[in-house]
Structure 1
Amino acid sequence: MHLNMFDQFKCPEVFFIPTLIPTMMMIILLFRNTAVLMGGRTSTLLSWITKQITKNLMSQLSPMGQKWTNLLMALLMFILLSNLMGLLPYTFFTTSQLSMNMAMALPLWLGTVVLGFFSKPNSATAHFLPEGSPAPLSPMLILIETVSLLIRPVALGVRLTANITAGHLLIHMVSHTTMELLDTKTILPCMTVTLLLALTFLEIAVACIQAYVFTLLLSLYLEENT
């Protein structure tokens, strides 16, 4: 039993070995080394989903921005697997840690900004002062645009952390309530179990959506700077 609701976001250990390591190594079992000429239905479906996601994310980018396709798709798969693996028992949510999410958001956002200043410096600097702005308001507008630019990586990291953390805290509270109500001979345990199942499916959807949103926002930042 957790002494604190936030204990579920700590990496459990067995014989001083983090359980995250064998959990991540289990992904290797999903791949087969046998060569086949044609993939099965599962591989075909995964290939189709990957193509559709790539098309939606990268179709609006310039040829320079499309060079980031492999990096952004690898980031999408990493966040998606991290979110989904965190739903398994005795695992660890890497994406529930703000330091982890900021370590992904800050370098990638900075890379898009630096790329914009090198590829088209005039357009990149023009974002700080919209065309036709009144001269007296120019210093304030430049300050606002600078703050909005610098807040982007923070928004990326905090959004992912808050969504993952909030969902699992809610599941933890509902599951604890369900265990407390099991001894009561009322309809309340059935209602809480139903709610818990609904929250679990909702959290699976949130895990997929947040991985897509994180990558989509980075592609939009990349579109502005390429």
Structure 2
Amino acid sequence: MNLSFFDQFLSPTLMGMPLIILSLTLPWLLIPNPTNKWLGNRLSSLQLWFSCNFTKQLMNPINLNGHKWSLLLMSLMMLLISVNLLGLLPYTFTPTTQLSMNLGLAVPLWLATVLIGVRNQLTTTLGHLLPEGTPILLIPILILIETISLFIRPLALGVRLTANLTAGHLLIQLISTAVFVLLPLMPAIATLTAMILLLLTLLEIAVAMIQAYVFVLLLSLYLQENV
């Protein structure tokens, strides 16, 4: 019984073919296409307002060389939010609960920020490995620690997103299973548990959006250090 709770995190297949690619492309169908009209509908206006404000907030601390990343980071933000929220619907699959996919997003983008720093400002990038005013005896240790912290950044990005979404989904399934078990035995307690489940679902919606924002925000901070 306990092992079946983790079946929801398995990548679904159809005739032996994984459907994770379909899960990733489906959210883009929900984003309205731009039109030639001066005024669109409320959904398009809300999407445009959110995109402009989020891009402005994200790019303000970064100099002009890093503004080229605005479209990429905004697209990544919309993809993660759409995939995370769609994963909360019944009979759906959340690709961002797979550590391999999250690392596949985090490692190339983190590596790109590091390579940009090495190409444009090698001295400043290497200077991040050694704080100013460090005693001579501590220089090798601090360089080793800073190097490890640098290479652990993409792992932390992927594990943070995976762990938060997996824990939330697993807790929702555990509580919903308890509701079905308690309903014929203790209806009052089952009703109270169902109310807790509703609050937990609302919390998980907030977590899905916050984790997408944190993922993109940390990438922008890494970019800010290297441009």
Normalising to structure 1: TM-score of the pair? 0.92
Q: Which residue of 1 aligns with 2:4?
A: 4
1:61: which partner in 2? 62
Residues 131-181 of structure 1, C-alpha deviations (whole Å, 9 max, x = no match):
110001100010011011011000000000000000000001000000001
Unaligned runs of 5+ in 1: none
Distance in 1 of aligned mates of 2:161 and 2:191: 31
The number of aligned residues is 226
Cα-Cα RMSD: 2.2
Alpha-carbon contact 1:95-1:164 (below 8 Å) kept:
yes
Is contact 1:97–1:161 with CA below 8 Å preserved after alignment? yes
User: In 1, distance between residues paired with 2:35 and 2:219?
Assistant: 36
Counterparts of 1:103-114 in structure 2 under 5 Å?
Answer: 103-114=104-115
Task: Work out the CA distance in 2 between the residues paired with 1:6 and 1:136.
Answer: 49
Report the TM-score, using the length of structure 2 for normalisation.
0.91
Between stretches 20-29 and 202-211, larger displacement belongs to: 20-29
For structure 2, the residue ranges without an aligned partner over 5 or more in a row are none
The answer as to whether partners of 2:24 and 2:95 remain within 8 angstroms in 1 is no
Q: Which residue of 1 aligns with 2:146?
A: 145
Counterpart AA for 2:94: F
The residue type paired with residue 94 of structure 1 is: P
Query: Corresponding residue for 2:207?
Result: 206
| Code of the aligned partner of 1:8 | Q
**Structure 1 stretches of 4+ moved >6 Å:** none
Query: How high is the sequence identity, in percent, across the aligned residues?
Result: 50
- The 3-state SS of whatever aligns with 2:64 is coil
How far does residue 27 in structure 1 lie from its aligned partner after superposition? 5.1
| Deviation of 1:55 (Å) | 1.1
Shift of 1:205: 0.6
- 2:84 is the alignment partner of 1:83: yes
The answer to whether the 8 Å contact 2:23/2:93 transfers is no
**Would the alpha carbon gap of residues 126 and 30 (structure 1) be closer, same or farther in structure 2, given more than 3 Å must change?**
closer
Instruction: Tell me the distance in 2 between the aligned counterparts of 1:154 and 1:26.
Output: 25
Residues 200 and 69 (structure 1 numbering): CA distance in 2 closer, same or farther, change over 3 Å?
same
